[in-house]
């Protein structure tokens, strides 16, 4: 099913990124015999899909900006003098051309919408966040959003929350002296890795991918803690609540999520 980013509504002006295609066309046309045919092949195989990708991104952005204006949240006539907004749009549009992921293009488009609003987010951080979206995969974005609010995510996905903890039987070790001790039970809490596997079953078969994604999110200071840490603490267990999972994004991680979420009209 086509995503909104792939819809062509209005033609747009050629972007600076098309310069490479122009050069390629010129070079191919100069070749004997095959130049004309090769140029047409390049137009059909590369230029047209890129144009569609760019047009879909820009047209959908324009639709959402109009919706925000109709809601009284901004004035489109003032955006032309908003240098910070223009920087974000130009950068995001370039990045949108470089990804086939509709999920990432949506995140980039939402970043443009939030840049048009008085978010209070420092201009430098807006560009830093755009570069992170460019570098990250869809899985980085999904895991980050899940980590920010696991309980809401599970509810929206209609996934029943797993038990926060289970009883684990522990056999005592051999005593130094005297009779052996009795077996006893402890609460073994679900780890972040286990909870993420419940949300994203693909990680059950590819734990290395989850580890890689998590390490990069930690390195970017968007999440904290280890995958092996509990996803909930004793307080949640004693309250017998199964909607109290906590993984934890940093303030920067929460800011990034807000920046790529679609503004509410």
68 located within any domain: yes
The pTM (predicted TM-score) of the whole model is: 0.74
121-177 tens-digit pLDDT: 899 999 999 999 999 999 999 999 999 999 999 999 999 877 776 555 655 666 655
| Mean pLDDT confidence for 75-89 | 93
Closest by CA to 182, choosing from 195, 169, 165, 164, is 169
265 located within any domain: no
184 Cβ contact list (under 8 Å, min separation 6): 169, 170, 172
89 shares its domain with 193: no
225 shares its domain with 251: yes
User: Angle at which helices 48-70 and 102-115 pack, to 10 degrees?
Assistant: 40
131 shares its domain with 146: no
Dig out the tokens for 239 from the structure.
Answer: 């309250």
108 shares its domain with 218: no
- ∠ Cα 9 21 46 (to 5°): 60
22 shares its domain with 86: yes
- The dihedral formed by the CA atoms of 201, 139, 110 and 259, expressed in degrees to the nearest 10: 100
95-123 tens-digit pLDDT: 999 999 999 999 999 999 999 998 778 99
75 located within any domain: yes
Number of domain units in the chain: 2
Q: What is the pLDDT of residue 231?
A: 86
Q: What is the extent of the structural domain holding 52?
A: 4-8+15-135
* End position of a domain, from candidates 100, 135, 170: 135
């Amino acid at each position: 099913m086509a995503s909104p980013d792939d819809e062509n509504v209005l033609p747009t002006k050629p972007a600076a990124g098309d310069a490479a295609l122009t050069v390629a066309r010129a070079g191919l046309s100069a070749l004997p015999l095959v130049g004309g045919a090769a140029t047409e092949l390049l137009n059909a195989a590369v230029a047209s899909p890129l144009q569609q990708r760019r047009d879909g991104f820009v047209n959908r952005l324009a639709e959402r900006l109009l919706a925000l204006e109709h809601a009284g949240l901004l004035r489109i006539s003032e955006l032309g003098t908003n240098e910070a907004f223009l920087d974000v749009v130009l950068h995001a549009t370039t990045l949108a051309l470089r990804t086939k992921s509709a999920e990432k293009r949506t995140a980039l488009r939402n970043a443009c919408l939030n840049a048009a609003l008085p978010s209070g987010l420092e201009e430098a951080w807006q560009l830093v966040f755009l570069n992170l979206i460019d570098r990250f995969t869809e899985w980085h974005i999904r895991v980050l959003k899940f980590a920010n609010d696991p309980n809401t995510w599970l509810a929206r996905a209609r996934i029943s929350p797993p038990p926060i903890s289970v009883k684990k039987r522990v056999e005592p070790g051999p005593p130094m002296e005297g009779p052996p001790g009795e077996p006893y039970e402890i609460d073994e809490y679900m780890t972040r890795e286990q909870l993420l596997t419940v949300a994203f079953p693909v990680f059950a078969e590819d734990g290395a991918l989850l580890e890689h994604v998590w390490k990069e999110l930690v390195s970017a200071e968007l999440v904290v803690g280890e995958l092996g840490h509990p996803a909930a603490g004793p307080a949640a267990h004693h309250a017998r609540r199964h909607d109290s999972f906590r993984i934890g994004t940093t303030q920067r991680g929460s800011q990034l999520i807000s920046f790529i979420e679609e503004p509410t009209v």
